[in-house]
């Protein structure tokens, strides 16, 4: 991420908007049965990945004096469900991170957490199985 930020600075092309959309989910499992490595992958991708983008690009946006940060969350960032506790916890973290960030940013910058709703993706299929087909596809969204 540092190299990407450096390349952006060298080209003098600071983004007006950042959309943090990377995410992963654990395999359905009771919290105490989720392997540590799998839990870490969810945290590393969903929380630390977002924080790394922010760490490298917000200083550039502050210098430019404007920008919008959109961190993708989930309905499970405001609720909970059985067997996806690591994912829920990571999205609760995104909600808190984003709200705190919004309070820290100077005038001209803003941060929001966006929950796009339930969309039929490979990730949804991994936890909903065949019932994922009941939800709109990415093309419909």
pLDDT above 80 for 135? no
Asked whether the beta carbons of 86 and 32 are under 8 A apart, the reply is: no
Whether 135 is a known active-site residue: answer no
Q: What pLDDT digit, counting tens, does each position of 13-59 carry?
A: 889 999 999 899 899 999 999 999 999 999 999 999 999 999 999 99
The span from the CA of 131 to the CA of 104, in Å, is 41
Domains and CATH numbers, the chain: 14-132 (3.40.50.720)
pTM (two decimals): 0.85
The span from the CA of 30 to the CA of 97, in Å, is 26
Of 87, 94, 98, 111, which residue is the catalytic one?
Answer: 87
What is residue 80's three-state secondary structure?
coil
């Amino acid at each position: 991420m540092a190299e990407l930020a450096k390349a952006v600075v060298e080209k003098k092309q600071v983004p007006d908007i950042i959309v943090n959309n990377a995410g992963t989910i654990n395999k359905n499992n009771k919290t105490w049965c989720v392997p540590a490595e799998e839990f870490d992958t969810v945290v590393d991708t969903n929380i630390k990945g977002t924080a790394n983008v922010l760490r490298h690009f917000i200083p550039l946006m502050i210098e430019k004096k404007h920008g919008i940060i959109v961190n993708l969350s989930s309905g499970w960032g405001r609720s909970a469900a059985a067997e996806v506790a690591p994912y829920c916890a990571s999205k609760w973290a995104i909600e808190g991170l984003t709200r705190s960030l919004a309070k820290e940013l100077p005038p001209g910058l803003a941060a929001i957490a966006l929950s796009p709703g339930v969309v039929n993706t490979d990730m949804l299929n991994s936890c909903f199985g065949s019932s994922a087909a009941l939800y709109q596809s990415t093309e419909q969204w």
